[in-house]
């Protein structure tokens, strides 16, 4: 009887786990899956779904300009291996379109997310254009977008968190770039991520947080390293007034400048931007030498930086 009950319990758990996934799709360039391209798999997902579509992407370099439209909700993409499952394209801002006009920053992304509830694991998102100015690896505008053990490769403007009032979560990810390589208006939490400052750049973040948004970018337990010279990178500069960026429990290498923050050549930004740190470590953490208009949080002030509060109750679930 006990054995029968145990088998039943296992079956119930299996059914519940699979009931949350309405559809499974496999992408493989060699034809062994359901589709050969990632965009075909996204197009095959049901529109406005309340249950999850899981897209498994086999090892390969997929050179596609990929879009997850607003009607494609609750899509999960899982790569076979983070270093060998690569989604890449090579557009850049000064490249001319078919009408002879420059693409501009927003049209350069290799991957676009508009649909709500998108998540990804074990995938590399890349813009392979090189150091040619603004060139996005990913553009995220959908709410509740989560990334686990993913890599984001580029130079200037690698990740555009463009959703106003939307929430994003990055866990155990690797992010590299030169200038403003994490930028935009969304609330985004980066937990235990490796942030790599490449030679030729000067700023990690360029938030454009709305004045009505409580949290902008929050980095917790991240590791900041790079190939850039010592004291050459600021933790952030305000793309727009009211930018909000906080680093907590992060390990900062000596690539970080002593002042830590930049006002983007506008002293007025010092009155509205909120830049803060709490219990960081490493040679790049020099709290007594930071810009006078930045903040070192007290224990009480740091209490509001919990995942639940930052993400306003949304609980990202790892695929």
Structure confidence at residue 20 (pLDDT):
73
The helix/strand count (H/E) of the chain reads as: 5, 26
Strand (E) or helix (H) holding 16: helix 2-19
Beta bridge partners of residue 190, listed in sequence order: 170, 219
pLDDT over 60 at 3, yes or no: no
> What's the Cα-to-Cα distance from 253 to each of 52, 228, 235, 284, 285, rounded to whole Å?
40, 11, 11, 5, 8
Average pLDDT (170-198) is: 98
> What's the Cα-to-Cα distance from 119 to each of 38, 75, 82, 216, 294, rounded to whole Å?
14, 6, 14, 20, 33
CA–CA separation, 51 vs 54, rounded Å?
10
Q: Mark whether 172 is an active-site residue.
A: no
Q: Which of 30, 81, 90, 180 is catalytic?
A: 180
Structure confidence at residue 10 (pLDDT):
38
Query: What are the φ/ψ torsions at residue 2 (nearest 5 degrees)?
Result: -60, -40
Q: Which of 157, 194, 230, 262 is catalytic?
A: 157
pLDDT over 90 at 91, yes or no: yes
Beta bridge partners of residue 121, listed in sequence order: 78, 148
What is this structure's pTM? 0.93
Strand (E) or helix (H) holding 17: helix 2-19
CA–CA separation, 288 vs 286, rounded Å?
6
Structure confidence at residue 29 (pLDDT):
97
Structure confidence at residue 164 (pLDDT):
86
Q: Is 221 helix (H, G, I), strand (E, B) or coil?
A: coil
Q: Mark whether 262 is an active-site residue.
A: no
What mean pLDDT value characterizes the chain?
94
pLDDT over 50 at 6, yes or no: no
> What's the Cα-to-Cα distance from 311 to each of 132, 143, 167, 218, 236, rounded to whole Å?
34, 10, 6, 10, 21
Query: What are the φ/ψ torsions at residue 90 (nearest 5 degrees)?
Result: -135, 35
| Per-residue pLDDT tens digits for 240-267 | 999 999 999 999 999 999 999 999 999 9
How far does Cα 187 stand from its chain's mean position? 11
């Amino acid at each position: 009887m006990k054995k029968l009950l145990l088998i039943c319990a296992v079956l119930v758990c299996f059914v519940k786990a699979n009931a949350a996934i309405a559809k499974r799709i496999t992408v493989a360039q060699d034809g062994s899956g359901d589709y050969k391209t990632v965009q075909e798999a996204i197009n095959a997902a049901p529109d406005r779904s309340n249950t999850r579509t899981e897209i498994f992407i086999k090892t390969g370099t997929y050179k596609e300009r990929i879009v997850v439209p607003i009607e494609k909700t609750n899509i999960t993409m899982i790569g076979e291996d983070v270093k060998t499952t690569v989604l890449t394209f090579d557009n850049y801002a000064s490249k001319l379109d078919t009408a002879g006009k420059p693409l501009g920053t927003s049209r350069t992304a290799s991957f676009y997310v508009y649909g709500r509830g998108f998540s990804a694991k074990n995938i590399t998102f890349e813009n392979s254009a090189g150091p040619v100015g603004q060139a996005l690896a990913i553009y995220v505008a959908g709410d509740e977008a989560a990334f686990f053990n993913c890599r984001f490769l580029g130079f200037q403007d690698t990740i555009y968190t463009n959703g106003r009032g939307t929430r994003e979560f990055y866990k155990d990810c690797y992010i590299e770039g030169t200038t403003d390589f994490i930028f935009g208006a969304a609330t985004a939490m980066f937990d235990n991520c490796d942030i790599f400052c490449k030679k030729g750049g000067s700023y990690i973040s360029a938030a454009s947080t709305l004045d009505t948004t409580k949290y902008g970018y929050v980095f917790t337990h991240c590791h900041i390293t790079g190939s850039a010279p010592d004291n050459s990178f600021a933790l952030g500069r305000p793309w727009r007034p009211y930018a909000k960026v906080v680093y907590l429990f992060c390990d900062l290498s000596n690539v970080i400048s002593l002042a830590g923050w930049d006002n983007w050549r506008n002293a007025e930004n010092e009155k509205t931007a909120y830049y803060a740190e709490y219990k960081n470590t490493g040679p790049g953490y020099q709290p007594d030498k930071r810009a006078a208009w930045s903040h070192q949080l007290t224990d009480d002030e740091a209490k509001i930086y919990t995942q639940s509060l930052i993400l306003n109750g949304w609980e990202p679930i790892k695929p």
